[in-house]
Structure formats: structure tokens, C-alpha cells
A and B are shown apart, each in its own frame.
Chain A
Amino acid sequence: MYTISNKLKTFSIALIILGLLGVGYGFMTSHKSFEEVETMLAEETSHHGGGHAADTHVLADEADHSESHQGVVGDEHQVDEHTKHVEHVQHQIANRPWSALYVAAFFFFMIALGVLAFYALQFASQAGWSPVLFRVMEGITSYVLPGGLIVLAIAIASGTIGHYNLFIWMDPDVVAHDKLIENKSGWLNIGWFAVRGLIFIAGWSLYRHFARKFTIAQDSATDDSNFKKTFRISAAFLVFFIYTESIMSWDWIMSVDPHWFSTLFGWYVLSGMLVSGITVIAFISLYLKSKGHLEIVNDSHIHDLAKFMFGFSIFWAYLWFSQFMLIWYANIPEEVTYFVTRIEDYNGLFFGMMVLNFVFPFLVLMNSDYKRIPWFVVMAGVIILVGHYIDVYVMIMPATVGDRWSFGIPEISSVMLFAGLFLFIVFTALTKAPLIVKRNPFLKESEHFHY
């Protein structure tokens, strides 16, 4: 039996407390009054030289946002536009801590969900190499239930407690004046959104609950009936998962831009999920192995995980590029705005993550010998995880805070909060059962696995 070390426990609790403080600070400093934002904007424009340039800037900027006022000129209109612009920026500033929290919550949740899908895949494909890693995977998937509920709670709270800080389709005022969102309101309304989310989380958690129950029962069983049960529910879960994962990615990610849609978005999110999940499996296995708890995991298992990291990084890049290139090539205005805002306001992050998520893993993990070296795998894994955090960041932030983004206390403390929570829940779950499954039909093969 593994027992969580006190150091790790204190570390994760310290992360949670520091994170909570930071998140609280972020929320407290994001409520700027109209006048504060007005003076802030005036200061910003004066840095760019000339007070008059400010007005034209405001006009040009606002022309993009409001279609109803086109062609109207005059002082009254200019004042109106100015008010709108200040309110727009005020809203973006207020959105920042919400978005920072949501990005971090989703990032850690998607790791757990990716591992759950990978775990089911190992059962359904009757993989012979992975049974020694099952308990590590089960530990990580214990975060699916709390993580999913937190993400859903933040999403709904942003529309009920907050001022529609993440999803503008939750704002009845916006829906009333927006034909496009109004037409989608049959799908995008808070009630149905919450019910869908709960159904997904319930389905994933039920699978996780029973798979875990059966593998633990298999440890002391006399036949393989529990293994067969896990096999069956894993196959069924994978069917359920691929539908719900697609819908979840439309709901929780794509609907921050309710005017935009992409067909392969669900798979794109899935590929990011899988690669970060597998990276975390490798991390936790290496950690436990280095502490002497998982001697049975050899460098061939690590090699296999690193191959999956390599392969899924390329798969992610393939989907990222397919989505980008199709929209870039056709350049249809209603689709392309998504990438226009990202390239204009998030240029470094948007293309930088391509380097982190594709170029680095591709070159670093190509060599077969390097995939067996723990510190090499950890290094590549850190790059991959940072890259996929930025990926989620660039999916959410442009829709909520626009060009008012930065990395500061709200973002870093949100990551700390959920990292602490994730570590605490995962390592507590690891203490609940022996780290190696027993009586799994593929266990012997897995123990002697070498590549």
C-alpha cells in the first residue's frame, strides 16, 4: 500500500491555499468602476500620442462590435460609442479572473478525462503492456468527478452569480438582440446546458466507479468474471464517451464563441486531452517509481508512454492544422474571425504553442533511446503540459477578455489552486488500493513487458 508523503500533502495544501488567496485577489481587483476604466483608457491612448486619435480609435473599434449603429454620425453618437467602448473594456476586465479560473479548472479536468478514455481503451483493446499502470490511471481518474463538477459549476456560476463572464449566450439581453444566438437558444440555454453537463459527468463517473470496483474485486477473485465485466463496460463507455466528449467540447469550450463553429473541434479537444493525460500518467509513474513504490514499471513501459506522447502530439498538431488551414484557405468571414482575433491579439501564444506542442515533442521524443530516459521524458512532458495549458488558454481567453489578456496573479494562482487540488485528490486516491493490480489476465505479460 502506498501512503502519501507528508511533504506532498503539505505541498498540495499550500498550493490550494496560495491559489485560493490569489484567486480571491483576482476577483477583488477586477471590479473596476466606469470612471476607473475611462481614465485607464485615456491614459493608454495618451501613451500612443494625441487625444484626438483616441476618439477615432474608439469609433473604428466600436464599428466592429455594433452593426445596428452603422451610418449614424454626430456628437451624440460619439458619446454613445464612447460609453459602449468603456463598458466593453470594463466587462473584459471583469471577465479575467473568471476565465483564468475556468481555463485552469478545465485544463486539470481534461487531464483526468483523457486518462479515463485511455484507461478504457487499454481494457477494450486488451493491451498487454499497461496493466501495471492501471492503478496509476485509476488514481488520476478520481479527479474526473470533482473536476467535472467544478468546471460545470464555474460555467453556470459565471451566468448566474457573475455577469455572464464566460458565455455571452447566457445573457438574455444579448440573446434578445442577436438573431444568431437566438436561433441557437434551443440548445444554448442555461437549464439544458446544466442538465447535459450533469449527464456527461454522471456517465463518466459511473464508468469510473464501476471499472474501479471491478478491478479491485478482481484482485481477490477466483475467476476472470470481473475482468470481463470491465472489458464490456469499457467498450460501452468508449461509445458513450466519444459522443459526450464532442458535445462537451461544444458546450464548455466552443460556446464561448457562440457565433463560431467548427466540425472537428471535438476531436481537437480530445487529442489535447489524451496527450496531456498520458503525460501525467508518465509523470506519476516516474514519481512513484523514483520513490520505490512501483519497481515493476520498467523503462519499456516508460518508452511506450513516451511513444504515445509523441504520437498524440503529432495527432494534435494534425487536427490543429486541419482546423486552421481549412478556415484560412476558404477565408469565409463568419468562420475566419475566430483565427483573426487569435492571430492579431494572441500571436505569440497561438503560434508558440504550436512549437511547444508539436515541434519540441517531435524532435525530442523521436529518438528511441531518449524515450527511455526519465529526465528526458519529464522534460518533454513539462513542455507538452505547458503547451496544452496555453492551448486551452487560447481557446477561452480571446472570447472573454479579448486583447486585455496577460499572465498574472489570477492565472498563476488559478493554476496553483487546481494543481494542488489535483495532486491532493489523485495521491489520496492512490493510497486507497495496492499500486499493482492482482489476477489481471494480462498482468504477467505486463510485468515482463519489454520492447
Chain B
Amino acid sequence: METSKVIHAIYTDDDVLMSAVKKVKAERYHIEEIYTPFPVHGLDKAMGLAPTRLAITAFIYGCIGLIVSIVMMDYIMIEDWPQNIGGKPSFSYIENMPAFVPIMFELTVFFSAHLMVITFYLRSRMWPFKEAENPDLRTTDDHFLMEIAVHGNETELENLLKETGAVEIKLIEKEEAH
């Protein structure tokens, strides 16, 4: 198992964190990860993270839900057993469509919402009994933590981070998980 060194710089203010991120990026260091207790507006942009594609998956899931509802009701109500129920025209799908729209709508929303949430869980590796990956407990309360990989440049990195207003800087030996 390989070990690698990372620096954990801890901040107590999100504005300070934001300017620190910009400075570290400007110095062309690679930020491994940032842990914050709440969403910091604009942090993803400052870190240069790619935009999420979750909305696109939701649209696709919604389309699937719509198709499922149409195929289901066309089969049940029109193809398999086209009964006369209260005089509703069950000769073709389109003739009886208004009655199906509430279900079409709900299934579209249902598929879109639930599958998107599941996608989110899978993509962010979240599930029950998962071991928490938190490097410092205080980051769930009122501290912000920036993790930067070290490649033999500890001192200059530490100096830079001190300049950015970090209240604590720790060098950590980390077991490579992958």
C-alpha cells in the first residue's frame, strides 16, 4: 500500500476560504478536496469544477417515465382488454388520452425525481452504513478544510497557505485508498 502526503489547511470563514482557493489556484496547486459545513456559493466555480450533468439525466429519466406510462396504459386499456367503462372511447389511445394524462404526468415526475436522486447517491457514493469520509469532525460544524497533495514542496505550500489566512495547517500521511 502506497502512502502519500497531503496538507490539511483549516479555515474558519467562508470568505477567507474563497480567497484562499483563488490564490492557491493562481499558484497552480491542485486542490484535492474541500470540506465545508454548508454550501459555499461560487466555490465550485472558484475551484474550476465541471458543471453537473444531473439535470440532463433527470430529463432522460422523465422521458423514460413518459414512455412507460404510455406503453402501460395503451397495453392495458386499449390493446389487452378494451372494455367500455362509463362510455369512455377505448378504440384508440388518442381518443381516450385526456383520461391518461394525469398518470402520464405523475409517472414522468416520479421517474425523473427518483431516478435522479438515486443517480445522485450513486455518483456521490452515498448509502446507509457507508463509512464517513470526514477528515476532521469540525468541518461539519464551523470549520472549512482544504486538502492539497504534497510532492516535496511542503514548506512553500505551507507558507502560501499561512498567507491565505489558514488557522491550522497539518501535514498528513494518507493511505492511498485506490
Contact surface of A with B, Cβ cutoff 8 Å: 321, 324-325, 328-329, 331, 366, 368
Among B47-75, those with CB < 8 Å from A are 55, 59
Q: Closest approach, in angstroms, between the C-beta of A333 and any C-beta of chain B?
A: 13
Q: Is the CB of A329 within 8 A of B99?
A: yes
Q: Closest approach, in angstroms, between the C-beta of B79 and any C-beta of chain A?
A: 22
Checking B55, B59, B87, B101 against A321 with a beta-carbon cut-off of 8 angstroms, the contacting residue is B101
B80-109 interface mask toward A, CB cutoff 8 Å, 1 = contact, 0 = none? 000000010000000000110100000000
Q: Closest approach, in angstroms, between the C-beta of A397 and any C-beta of chain B?
A: 23
For chain B, the count of residues having a C-beta within 8 Å of the partner chain is 6
Checking B59, B87, B101 against A366 with a beta-carbon cut-off of 8 angstroms, the contacting residue is B59
Checking A324, A366, A368 against B98 with a beta-carbon cut-off of 8 angstroms, the contacting residue is A324
Q: Closest approach, in angstroms, between the C-beta of B95 and any C-beta of chain A?
A: 11
Q: Is the CB of A325 within 8 A of B87?
A: no
Q: Is the CB of A331 within 8 A of B87?
A: yes
Complex CA gap A309/B99 in Å reads: 27
> Which residue on A lies nearest to B55, using beta carbons?
A368
Which residues on the A side are within 8 Å of B98 (C-beta)? 321, 324-325, 328-329
> Which residue on B lies nearest to A324, using beta carbons?
B98
Q: Closest approach, in angstroms, between the C-beta of A239 and any C-beta of chain B?
A: 32
Q: Is the CB of B101 within 8 A of A325?
A: yes
Complex CA gap A331/B86 in Å reads: 11
With most chain A CB atoms within 10 A of its CB, the pick from B55, B87, B98, B101 is B98
Which residues on the A side are within 8 Å of B87 (C-beta)? 331
The 8 closest A-B pairs by CB, nearest first: A325-B98, A328-B98, A329-B99, A321-B101, A325-B101, A329-B98, A324-B98, A366-B59
Q: Closest approach, in angstroms, between the C-beta of B20 and any C-beta of chain A?
A: 23
A–B Cβ pairs within 8 angstroms, 12 of them: A321-B98, A321-B101, A324-B98, A325-B98, A325-B99, A325-B101, A328-B98, A329-B98, A329-B99, A331-B87, A366-B59, A368-B55
Q: Closest approach, in angstroms, between the C-beta of B123 and any C-beta of chain A?
A: 19
> Which residue on B lies nearest to A331, using beta carbons?
B87
Q: Closest approach, in angstroms, between the C-beta of B111 and any C-beta of chain A?
A: 16
Q: Closest approach, in angstroms, between the C-beta of A369 and any C-beta of chain B?
A: 10
Complex CA gap A125/B32 in Å reads: 42
> Which residue on B lies nearest to A327, using beta carbons?
B98
Complex CA gap A366/B62 in Å reads: 13
Q: Closest approach, in angstroms, between the C-beta of A276 and any C-beta of chain B?
A: 24
Q: Closest approach, in angstroms, between the C-beta of B94 and any C-beta of chain A?
A: 11
Which residues on the B side are within 8 Å of A331 (C-beta)? 87
Which residues on the B side are within 8 Å of A321 (C-beta)? 98, 101
Complex CA gap A328/B59 in Å reads: 30
Q: Closest approach, in angstroms, between the C-beta of A359 and any C-beta of chain B?
A: 13
> Which residue on A lies nearest to B88, using beta carbons?
A329
Q: Closest approach, in angstroms, between the C-beta of B45 and any C-beta of chain A?
A: 12
Q: Closest approach, in angstroms, between the C-beta of A289 and any C-beta of chain B?
A: 25
Which residues on the B side are within 8 Å of A325 (C-beta)? 98-99, 101
> Which residue on B lies nearest to A321, using beta carbons?
B101
Q: Closest approach, in angstroms, between the C-beta of B3 and any C-beta of chain A?
A: 43
> Which residue on B lies nearest to A326, using beta carbons?
B98
Which residues on the A side are within 8 Å of B101 (C-beta)? 321, 325
Q: Closest approach, in angstroms, between the C-beta of B113 and any C-beta of chain A?
A: 16
Which residues on the B side are within 8 Å of A328 (C-beta)? 98
Q: Closest approach, in angstroms, between the C-beta of B63 and any C-beta of chain A?
A: 11
Which residues on the B side are within 8 Å of A329 (C-beta)? 98-99
Which residues on the B side are within 8 Å of A324 (C-beta)? 98
Which residues on the B side are within 8 Å of A366 (C-beta)? 59
Complex CA gap A409/B101 in Å reads: 38
Q: Closest approach, in angstroms, between the C-beta of B126 and any C-beta of chain A?
A: 25
Complex CA gap A328/B99 in Å reads: 9
Q: Closest approach, in angstroms, between the C-beta of B90 and any C-beta of chain A?
A: 14
> Which residue on A lies nearest to B59, using beta carbons?
A366
Q: Closest approach, in angstroms, between the C-beta of A173 and any C-beta of chain B?
A: 38
Complex CA gap A321/B100 in Å reads: 12
